[in-house]
Structure 1
Amino acid sequence: MHNRFTQMFGIEHPIMMGGMQWVGRAPLVAAVAEAGALAVLTALTQPTPEDLAREIANVRERTDKPFGVNLTILPTMKPPPYAEYRRAIIEAGITIVETAGHRPQEHVDDFKAHGVKVIHKCTAVRHALSAQRMGVDVVSIDGFECAGHPGEDDIGGLVLIPAAADALDIPIIASGGIADGRGLVAAMALGAEGVNMGTRFLATQECAIHDNVKDKIVASTERDTNLIFRKLHNTARVGRNSVSDEVVALLDRPEAEFADVAHLVAGAKGRSVMESGDMDEGLYWAGMAQGLIHDVPTVAELVERIMNEAREVAARRLPALLETAA
């Protein structure tokens, strides 16, 4: 399954592990790279740009295969020093970056000026077209099923992926609701040239989060997520627990505002969930794909399984359907 995406980034399989806060660290990134897929460190998981440089070096000690770094731009009251993180990425010689979030133009321009290939995450075709004009190399189109921020249009991948493929000239990779080889084949049939998975990689042995989180994902169904911040027009999909239930209830009131839930959604609380395993300490990110996750394999086992299943679907099931129709 080689195409523009795999050739552009020098990877064996059309599979990517996108940026995930508190998750995208060296051991998992290196494991995904060694399995022949593309993974990215999450820059803002590291406390400082200097820490990011050290984590990049840590990955390189573990693998000589391609990997990238995610830089997500968020409109916050006290933004991190994005330009300094960007400079650390460039000075480390990173050649692949995943960008996401608010107005990344200056970052894309600087990365491109230094020969960095940019994958930009979008949740709408109009945003993907803007990213293409901006000069990015690949768009990750994120459907409504995804963890994190699915946008405000509520368009699922079955429509969003082919709509983006029809509109764009650059490669697209599909994100949201994908956890196995069936999803990979379906995404490519719809016009994508690869898939970007997050939730599925949480439930792997090399992912350095507490086992309670992995067990919760395995035990959950596709219905066990919550959409929060809808009223604030900053929709986010998270795993369902007592905290996300409370956030939904509080923001459902007519007079509600962000200050009412700020104490519940703090990033430090989410980090505590991942590290302590207390599932009612804060929010944790999870997409609808958790309904397709039933075990916690190694990354190598997972990638091999996905590719084998994809080949079986492409080589046996689809031709069998055509023969039946004939």
Structure 2
Amino acid sequence: MKQTIYEQYELRVERKQKVRHYDAFWANRVMYILVPVGHLEEAEIEELQSLSEYMIRTHQDIYVSSFVKNKSESYTTEIEGRKMALFRMPYDYSSRKLVVGKELALFHLNGRSFPAKVTSINRIGQWKSLWVKRIDQMEHFFREKVRSNPIDVFDTLFVESFPYYMGLTENAIQYLVDTELDDSPMINDAATLCHHRFTNLTWQQSQWMKLPTDWIFDHAARDLSEWIRAECRKGPDMNPGSIQTFLKDYERVSPLSSFSWRLLYARLVFPVHYFECVEDYYTSGPVADKKWHEDRLKGILQSSDMYEQVLGNFYDLAGVPAKTYGIPELEWVKR
């Protein structure tokens, strides 16, 4: 790896370390991070590079990691058989105290003003079709499993739990459809820069690193709901106050419309954490750590009651006057 980095980027690796689960190294008192990008198309990488440059140059976002070109003027390099991108990490500003909700609202505000059309990483307006496709695929898989009889612990857990999560998904899709029919988006509902799965760990708050490969173009409610989902899944350690603070900090910069609240809620109802757990297990191959996957699924199932309680009381928890806004609630999850 050291040799390839020197040949491709003329950087001498001085000290290696891990940042998140990625390889990182120091060179000339600057930290760089290597990120696998084999799952990304060239057009997606080009858009992510343009967006990162825009956030750095136009909005002076000092926390955005910047793409580094190799000697061939390319943003990707083959290293040890994998397609990788090299990023220059921001300087360590860990002494600066930043507020996640406020910082996310500013990030969305800046991303919304990107002047070019985004197509390759755009997901705005696609939730319904993606959710329908996902549930159809999993339902088909579920029927196959039932027909062939579950053979291990994970199979059994999946077969027993899927009907409940299918019901949740149908509720989420219907809630989303009703929102798009009954409500109207406002200015702050325009597409912006978001993350695939935004949690408290995404920006590595000891370093506040914003990594372009985490990004996607979507409605801001995506990030808000995924952050809240991660908090809700802490089980007994969940702190409702942290969710309230996060939302208030966000709204001080960028108030949410009733349309935003409804999209946020629809996405919370959609059990993406369950889908990802099941999909990861069945696509992980024969060498997978079965016990780890089983424990992960058991954890989701054990916390389902608490998660349902959050869904039932979400608008109260968030301090949203649902009746005043004319926002419907899912009655069956209210207790």
TM-score interval w.r.t. the shorter chain? under 0.3
- What is the TM-score with the length of structure 2 in the denominator? 0.22
**Higher gyration radius (CA):** 2
More helix by share: 2
